[in-house]
Amino acid sequence: MKEIKIGQGLGNIKFGYTREELKKVLGEPDEIDKYSYTNSDTDLTESWHYDDSEISVSFDQEDDWLLGAISVSSDEFLFNGQKLIGKSEEEVLSYIMSIYPEDIEHEFTNYEDDPERILVSFEDLSLSLWFMNGILEEIEWGVLWDDADMQIWPE
């Protein structure tokens, strides 16, 4: 269950799971947050946090509360067979670029309030990487999207 699968999920957990299906695999979460990015009561996101395993998952109301994103922060998780958490930004980006086409685009975001923190996003992979002081501390990935902005749910 430690293998990150781009566009698919984590190990045997697949994007598109209902909250009940996920509970059967991971159990009850330690914490649940419910919020809206748009300040609307009809556009809610629910995030579940599993402290011991360092896993967070999210479900969106607009997707009928299906599992749409996962994030991990433990070095026990594998990305294409490699442990990336705790590695340098250069090592991580070089590794990802060696797996995916060289023309894959990525975007850097710096935080004014926290200049040591950098977010690197790969939109085509629905992948986000958070670095602190040049070291990878969190990986988040989600369901993939097609050219018509429709989710590609795994089978």
Number of domains in the chain: 1
* CA–CA dist 108, 89 (Å, integer): 11
Q: What residue ranges in the chain does DSSP mark as E strands?
A: 3-5, 9-10, 13-14, 31-36, 44-50, 55-60, 66-72, 78-79, 82-83, 107-111, 114-122, 127-132, 135-142, 144-145, 151-152
Model confidence at 141: pLDDT above 90: yes
Helices (H), 33-127: 89-99
Model confidence at 7: pLDDT above 90: yes
Q: What's the CATH number where 39 sits?
A: 2.60.460
pLDDT tens track for 14-54: 999 999 999 999 999 999 999 887 777 778 999 999 999 99
* CA–CA dist 34, 44 (Å, integer): 7
Task: Quote the domain boundaries for residue 17.
Answer: 3-152
Determine how many CB atoms are found less than 10 A away from the CB of residue 96.
21
pLDDT tens track for 79-99: 999 999 999 999 999 999 999
